[in-house]
């Protein structure tokens, strides 16, 4: 089973203000590596106090960090052609979509799904499907609201869910579990619910 798990933290309520990105790389059904980038957002040095209270990242922490364009080539190489998961994917994909548009960068091509929706399919009837209660349920270590940690925990949650199914292929697992899949592609985006939007820049 091969896929990527992705998580963003943002500096402000604006979607195009990523200050940290984490990607966990799963190959052969195992988390092989976790990559983490601090990012100096366009809004720097302003950070919303509410956002800082959530993730603990401050303007001084990213003062020497690269801008989005400085990490994008590396990130795009990972994403292109991949299957990507995020916990509450609507948020993370809106950050990616808005940030690409703000920098006039075209979309890579990849499919994605939401691990919240997946968890509801695989473990119905739970009181909460937040990342922390899901990790607590499965004994997955979590330092919540830091991008690399959240990405790795999300990847481990998907692997636990896949243990419930006979397939070791991520695409077949998603079909078996009846999890809807969205996609990014040059010039547009399709949500897991089927809504199609055209990229607003480039």
Rg (C-alpha) for the chain, rounded Å, is: 16
Tell me how far CA of residue 134 lies from CA of 14, 26, 144, 197, in angstroms.
Answer: 27, 19, 12, 31
Q: What is the per-residue pLDDT across 11-52, written as a single tens digit (0 to 9) for each?
A: 999 999 999 999 999 999 999 999 999 999 999 999 999 999
Q: 5 with 86: CB under 8 angstroms?
A: yes
Residue range of the domain that includes 116: 3-198
pLDDT on residue 108: 97
Q: 31 with 24: CB under 8 angstroms?
A: yes
Tell me how many domains the chain contains: 1
How far apart, in whole angstroms, are the C-alpha atoms of residue 33 and residue 27? 9
Q: 87 — phi, psi (to 5°)?
A: -85, 115
Q: Is residue 145 predicted with pLDDT exceeding 90? A: no
Q: Is residue 199 predicted with pLDDT exceeding 90? A: no
Q: 38 — phi, psi (to 5°)?
A: -80, 145
Q: What is the per-residue pLDDT across 85-116, written as a single tens digit (0 to 9) for each?
A: 999 999 999 999 999 999 999 999 999 999 99
Q: 148 — phi, psi (to 5°)?
A: -65, -40
Helix axes 115-122, 147-162, angle to 10 degrees: 30
Q: What is the CATH number of the domain that holds 184?
A: 3.30.420.10
Q: What is the per-residue pLDDT across 153-179, written as a single tens digit (0 to 9) for each?
A: 999 999 999 997 767 799 999 999 999
Predicted structure pTM score: 0.95
Q: 94 with 15: CB under 8 angstroms?
A: yes
Q: Is residue 202 predicted with pLDDT exceeding 60? A: no
């Amino acid at each position: 089973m091969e896929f990527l798990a992705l998580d963003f933290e943002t500096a402000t309520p604006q979607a195009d203000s990523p200050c940290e990105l984490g990607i966990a790389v799963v190959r052969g059904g195992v988390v092989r590596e976790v990559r983490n980038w601090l990012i100096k957002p366009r809004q720097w040095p302003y950070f919303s106090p509410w956002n800082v209270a959530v993730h603990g990242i401050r303007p001084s922490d990213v003062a020497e960090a690269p801008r989005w364009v400085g990490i994008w080539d590396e990130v795009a190489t990972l994403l292109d052609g991949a299957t990507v998961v995020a916990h509450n994917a609507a948020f993370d994909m809106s950050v990616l979509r808005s940030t690409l548009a703000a920098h006039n960068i075209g979309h890579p091509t990849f499919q994605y799904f939401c691990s919240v929706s997946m968890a509801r399919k695989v473990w119905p009837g739970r009181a909460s499907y937040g990342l922390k209660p899901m990790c607590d349920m499965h004994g997955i270590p979590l330092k919540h609201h830091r991008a690399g940690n959240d990405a790795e925990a999300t990847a481990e949650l998907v692997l636990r869910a896949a243990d419930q199914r006979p397939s070791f292929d991520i695409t077949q697992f998603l079909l078996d579990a009846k999890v809807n899949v969205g996609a990014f592609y040059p010039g547009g985006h399709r949500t897991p619910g089927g809504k199609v939007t055209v990229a607003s820049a480039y």
